[in-house]
């Protein structure tokens, strides 16, 4: 079964898409083609979209699913003319909240994802800059300012996780890749000198060797770097170091960045500087 879902907003569409994807992910047996339509901020745009939805319904032979966060009443009225199963997020949840809080909503377009408070916005920017400046062990002298330092072998997910922590939670995350320079004379991985003073900030990442080999092969095909034996050896050494130094770690193989980050925050007891957007 294939259905089409439209996520519609007069703002960025992030809220409609995020909630819509979360809901539709529960239906694994249904193949859903997802279409996001942000900035539907005029009745003309709404009418043009209604025509697209109508054509889609005719093509599919099934009514599309319409999930929207339209604030403007006139625009919402146009959207209701489209053939589809409609979920109006704001009207569904705001009306009961208005009754409970005994006040009317401001119904402001884009309020969730606007810049808002300057301190929150600047914190987000500063945290992202910190993650970029301290990527792959680039500036180990700034580790005293880090909230957390991600460690692990090359290409196990440190960089995207660091950036996600910064962007979504304002957490200053550095990351350090284990390399051959960190091996002892007997070939054993030792804790790098730059990390020793910050053991309490370390959090390890590991990954399945076959998955790591496939990822590395896209970067340097047919090299020792991507060979299964090399990947397996590096992962075993990293995990041995985690256990020896009592460094908490997580396997990134089957977890999304969102899951890795939230588990990391919970286990490390990190303080979020703001909520995810």
The answer to the question of whether 159 is labelled as a binding residue is yes
Q: Which two tokens stand for residue 248?
A: 């908490």
The answer to the question of whether 226 is labelled as a binding residue is no
Distances (CA, A) of 102 to 89, 90, 92, 94, 120: 20, 17, 16, 12, 28
The answer to the question of whether 157 is labelled as a binding residue is yes
Give Cα 244 to chain centroid, integer Å. Answer: 31
The residues near 131 (Cβ < 8 Å, ≥ 6 apart) are: 162, 163, 165, 166, 172, 173, 174, 175
The answer to the question of whether 11 is labelled as a binding residue is no
Do the beta carbons of residue 127 and residue 172 sit within 8 Å? yes
The answer to the question of whether 151 is labelled as a binding residue is no
CA distance 138 to 119: 27
Q: b or e along 159-183 (b: 16 or more beta carbons within 10 Å of the residue's beta carbon)?
A: bebbbbbbbbbbbbbbbbbbeeebe
The answer to the question of whether 273 is labelled as a binding residue is no
The answer to the question of whether 158 is labelled as a binding residue is yes
Place of tokens 């002892």: 184
The answer to the question of whether 231 is labelled as a binding residue is no
| DSSP output for 148-169 | EEEEEETTSSHHHHHHHHHHHH
Q: Which residues are annotated as a binding site?
A: 152-159
Q: Which residues are annotated as a binding site for ADP?
A: 152-159
């Amino acid at each position: 079964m294939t259905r089409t879902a439209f996520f519609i907003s007069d703002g960025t569409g992030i809220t409609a898409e995020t909630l819509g994807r979360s809901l539709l992910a529960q239906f694994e047996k249904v193949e859903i083609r997802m279409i996001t339509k942000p900035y539907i901020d005029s009745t003309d745009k709404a009418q043009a979209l209604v025509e697209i939805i109508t054509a889609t319904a005719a093509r599919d032979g099934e009514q599309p699913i319409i999930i929207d966060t339209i604030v403007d009443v006139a625009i919402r009225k146009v959207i209701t003319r489209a053939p589809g199963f409609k979920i109006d997020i704001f009207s569904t949840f705001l009306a009961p909240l208005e009754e409970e809080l005994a006040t009317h909503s401001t119904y402001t377009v884009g309020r969730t994802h606007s810049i808002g408070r300057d301190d929150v916005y600047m914190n987000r920017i500063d945290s992202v800059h910190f993650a970029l400046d301290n990527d792959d062990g680039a500036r180990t002298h700034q580790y005293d300012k880090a909230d957390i330092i991600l460690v692990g072998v090359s290409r196990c997910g440190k960089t995207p996780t660091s950036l996600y922590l910064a962007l979504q939670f304002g957490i200053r995350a550095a990351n350090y890749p284990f390399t051959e320079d960190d091996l002892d004379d007997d070939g054993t991985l030792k804790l790098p000198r730059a990390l020793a003073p910050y053991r309490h900030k370390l959090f390890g990442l590991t990954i399945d060797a076959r998955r790591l080999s496939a990822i590395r092969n896209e970067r340097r095909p047919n090299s020792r770097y991507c060979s299964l034996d090399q990947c397996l050896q590096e992962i075993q050494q990293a995990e041995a170091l985690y256990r020896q130094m009592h460094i908490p770690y997580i396997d990134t193989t089957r977890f999304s960045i969102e899951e890795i980050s939230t588990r990391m925050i919970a286990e490390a007891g990190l303080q979020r500087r703001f909520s995810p957007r």
